[in-house]
Amino acid sequence: MRSARAHHPTAATAPRGRGTLPRYSSSPLALTAPSRRRRLALRPARAASPARDASAAPSPSPSSSSSRPPKPPRYATNPRPSTPTSPSTTPNPTSSSSAGPDYSSFPSRNLALELVRVTEAAALASGRWLGKGDKNAADQAAVDMMRRVLADIQFDGVVVIGEGAKDEAPMLYCGERIGDGSPPAVDVAVDPLDGTTLTAQGRSGALSVIALAGRGCLFDPGPIVYMDKLAVGPDVDPRRISLDYPVRRNLEAVAACLRKPVGDVTVLVLDRPRHKQLVEEIRAAGARIRMVSDGDVGGAIETAKPGAPVDVMMGVGGTPEGVIAAAALKCMGGHLEGRLWPRDEGERAEAEKFGYDVDRILYPEDLAAGEDVFFAATGVSDGDLLRGVRYYSGGATTSSLVMRCKSGTVRHIVTEHRWRKPSLTNLGGGGGGGGGGGDGHHHDPNANALDSLEWRDYGGGLGMPGGIVDW
């Protein structure tokens, strides 16, 4: 006689060879007593009726997950409008995070790779004014070239941070529409020349920068020109620092996160009279200080570099630069928080009239919301972050930084520009730059020989003949 385990389909699911009883019986008599009770026990369980289950099941409570309303979006309290997710940007549920990024789950277009042409063009134009003592001419050259190249980019952009109000700046003014008008709709923050004084005086650290995010995602500083800032790299836990904390407490938190004493922490501060008290507090805490005359966008980015020369940036700087730096640090995994800093009671009253809370801390999601954040920068003069423009017979070399928040990519791009083959980045060719303007064409007598030159390897990389190595 076959055992019930081998005969009955439901009992076959029990493990074999371990003496385990079938799940429908708790007594060994059910396997041996030939009775109606045994036959009933061996009968397959009756399928439950959906209607009966529905009537018998208890009604869900108001707090039950099945009746709970959809979870509000992450930035529901943010006054900016939320952008609906398009089918092309819906994440692929079958993708595996351990296998790397799934490039099929979102558009592959990286706008930062197109924006780098914008900063390259501005850097090439303003770099010709390095050390010539005219910061206005250097800035104007960068603005003119940046505006010309932006007109060719395929997006519908609105300048949120630019060169000022419409009546103050003929180009790249706040509210100006740029791009060719095609989707996507974006906010744009530009600083064609961050470090006009640095360029005019021939100093290091001047950059041409641009940041981009979805429409309504970049913070509009309004009438407030300055902002108190605190910036750190990705190795510092942002929950352990705050603008509300004393300087010593922030420095101790940074030191703890970086696993080194406070005496080894380096703080970047703009060299301004308003920072006298801040410098005294930093020195009292025992930290090192690196003073810079201008260029706090580059200084903020340096805190997030691998092997960063500075660990934290503190102090008051430009509000537009703070928004751009926040976009860059968000792409790099760093953190920047700021608080509007009115210069006087009149500016405070004007800000409050427009609805700004000057006492509120602005976090990265307030300054550059969402994941569709892009950043590009090109060096104008040599600095710790990027090399400046190198001019040679028949062309120039630029060094740029390109970042995208969604993918977390940070690219370092070195570009060779040839005047014989004009493009968007060198529309002016060799003309201009303090040499009398020019007609937009390059008249270098050696330019005809440029196309016949070959790339050569000089041991450390590729370089142009004549010893120019830039790779």
pLDDT tens figures, 110-141: 888 889 999 999 999 999 999 999 999 999 99
pLDDT in tens, 58-70: 444 433 333 333 3
Nearest to 374 by CA among 214, 176, 184: 214
pLDDT in tens, 417-456: 988 876 666 655 444 443 333 333 333 333 333 332 333 2
Helix (H, G, I), strand (E, B) or coil at 218: strand
pLDDT recorded at residue 463: 34
pLDDT recorded at residue 167: 55
- 270-277 average pLDDT score: 95
Q: Which CATH class is domain 111-218+376-469?
A: alpha beta
228 in Cβ contact with 243 (< 8 Å) = yes
Higher pLDDT, 312 or 19: 312
Domain boundaries defined on the chain: 111-218+376-469, 226-367
Question: What value, to the nearest 5°, has the Cα angle with vertex 123 and ends 307 and 112?
Answer: 65
Return the bridge partners of 266, or none.
288
- 92-97 average pLDDT score: 42
Q: Which residues contact 193 (CB under 8 A, 6 or more apart)?
A: 122, 126, 138, 139, 142, 143, 199, 206, 207, 208, 380
3.40.190.90, 3.30.360.10, 3.40.718.10, 3.40.190.150: which CATH number matches 226-367?
3.40.190.90
What is the rounded CA–CA span in Å between residue 428 and residue 205?
24
- Residue 391, classified by CB atoms within 10 Å of its CB into exposed (0-12), middle (13-18) or buried (19+), is middle
Higher pLDDT, 37 or 202: 202
Question: What Rg, from alpha-carbon coordinates, does the chain have?
Answer: 32
Q: Which residues contact 378 (CB under 8 A, 6 or more apart)?
A: 116, 119, 120, 122, 123, 207, 208, 386, 398, 399, 400, 401
In a 13 Å sphere around the CA of 253, the CA atoms on its Cβ side amount to 19
Band (pLDDT 50/70/90 cuts) for residue 32 is: very low
Q: Edge-to-edge strand order for the sheet containing 456-457?
A: 456-457, 462-464, 468-469
